Structure 1
Amino acid sequence: MNSLATPSHNRQMSAALPFSRLRAPVEDLYPRLFDAILEQRIAPASRFTEESLKQMFGVSRADVRRALTQLAHEHIIVLRANHRPRVAELDAEHTRQTLHARRLAENTLVRLACQRPSVEGLKRLRALIERERQAVEQDRRGAAIRLSGEFHLQLAQMAGNAPLAHFLGSLVPLTSLAIARSSRKTHSCCAWQEHLAIVEAVECGDVCRASMLMNQHLSHLEQTLLDSANEGWVAG
């Protein structure tokens, strides 16, 4: 009798294994880990370790380390020698400065995007909006917040100014963390309907309308987050 298991048998065995023992794709770990932070399943005060994350997500410690390093570069996770990783803390002034920098960057980026609205870029933006809409409808708050941020980063990519897009990439994750910790239980503070309106203006090359919509969008975000910060962030 052949001792090798058949493919169907292997699939059945995999289905029977607990989630923590199933190896997840490495490229899938970052969004899953970020979503867990945004949903406060990994809370600011929690004392998690690389080993606990390895067990939680069913990946190797090296995979966990790479994801944590990426989140540390985005200032979401604080990594210090001989200390456990921890989620970054926020304060109202830092949030205010981050939002101000975003407004300066995104006003320019949306204007540049209107000058070069590529078919493929618009397609990716609409796909992100659809995923965001589904996350909101399914009450997956972490995913909705993360996808909302990815929309802004994808729009920046389409604008074609790499240094400015890179700068925005350092601001959006922090904004996502602020949204997640907001005492006002909105899904993302960045409604997918507002994103869709911006895309439609960009597609038409309507610089004035796209800029107006982006400013309104960021003003709504700023008011919500700063009001929430003044009331006090949600405890982890």
Structure 2
Amino acid sequence: MTPIEQIAAPVAVEDRAAMIRDHLRDAIIDRRLAPGTKLNEVEVGRLFNVSRTVVREALQALAFEGLVSTERNRGAFVASPTPEDARQVFASRRLIEPGLALAAAERITAHDIEDFRHRLRHESQLLAERGPSARRAEIHASGDFHLLLARVAGNAVLSRFMEELVARSSLVIALYGRSGTSSCGHADHGSILAALEQRDGKLAGRLLLHHIDHIETDLDIRDTENLPLREALAIAPREA
């Protein structure tokens, strides 16, 4: 059964909305839906064979996560995070993830460690590939590492908050990423896992802060001036 057929099946409105939200979220994070894309309620409803009410509920959930913006009399659009939005996302992660590392180091099991290793192997495979689709998948896989950290930490509230932060981070990385410090990020994940295996939560926390610095360094989130068109295009004025 295809995802659309699954959504069209007789399930509760809340469940349908949640499934549509998940499909749209994946498309946004993977950049299959670019920032600024209009999300027409009628078209989305037709694609998934649901009412506009169900679509609106899904879009409202994505708006709450910061992945969709809504404008009065214009509708819903894929969010276009500003440089300041990007800074705030990573500032939030710096506050939260070291605490998650402390909790995860106390709770981690052999099964959890194998889950982490499985994700690292998947990241390694993606690093060996080339092309935009591989890059998108790699961003997604990297986010999964941090979501697993949150789950291992055992705090359901922070885990849900991390889902939002990782989703926003993925959109920011896809939008503002420059060279892509993918190999650095992958090496960072390996070091973080090694610290967790030693149950050294403080070291894992410090490594996470270093890792977040790595990610943010690779972003071009400089504030830009709103220059006149001629200056923005660097066209010299013609001589009289």
User: What is the TM-score of this pair, normalised by structure 1?
Assistant: 0.71
Selected match of 1:186 from 157, 180, 188: 180
CA distance in 1, matches of 2:183, 2:82: 18
**In structure 2, what is the equivalent of residue 100 of structure 1?**
91
Selected match of 2:216 from 207, 222, 230: 222
**In structure 2, what is the equivalent of residue 113 of structure 1?**
104
CA contact 2:188–2:211 (8 Å) conserved in 1: yes
Q: Deviations over 1:76-134 (max 9, x none)?
A: 01245653220112222222122111111111111111111123333333333334444
Structure 1 residue 24: Cα displacement: 5.8
Change (3 A) 1:110 1:48: same
CA distance in 2, matches of 1:142, 1:87: 17
Q: Secondary structure at the match of 2:92?
A: helix
Tell me the number of residue pairs that the alignment of Structure 1 and Structure 2 aligns.
210
CA distance in 2, matches of 1:142, 1:51: 28
Q: Deviations over 1:170-204 (max 9, x none)?
A: 32221111101015142869733322321222122
What residue ranges of structure 2 are gaps of 5+ in the alignment? 8-15, 225-240
What residue ranges of structure 1 are gaps of 5+ in the alignment? 1-13
CA RMSD for the aligned pairs?
A: 3.3
Change (3 A) 1:157 1:141: same
**In structure 1, what is the equivalent of residue 68 of structure 2?**
77
Structure 1 residue 205: Cα displacement: 1.0
Selected match of 2:163 from 165, 169, 179: 169
Alignment of 1:1-236 (within 5 A): 23=5, 32-53=23-44, 59-61=48-50, 67-79=58-70, 82-136=73-127, 137=129, 139-186=133-180, 191-225=185-219, 228-230=220-222
Change (3 A) 1:165 1:123: same
User: What is the TM-score of this pair, normalised by structure 2?
Assistant: 0.70
Change (3 A) 1:131 1:23: farther
Identity percentage over the alignment? 32
**Once structures 1 and 2 are overlaid, which stretch shifts more, 71-80 or 123-132?**
123-132
**Once structures 1 and 2 are overlaid, which stretch shifts more, 29-38 or 39-48?**
29-38
CA contact 1:189–1:221 (8 Å) conserved in 2: no
CA distance in 1, matches of 2:43, 2:70: 16
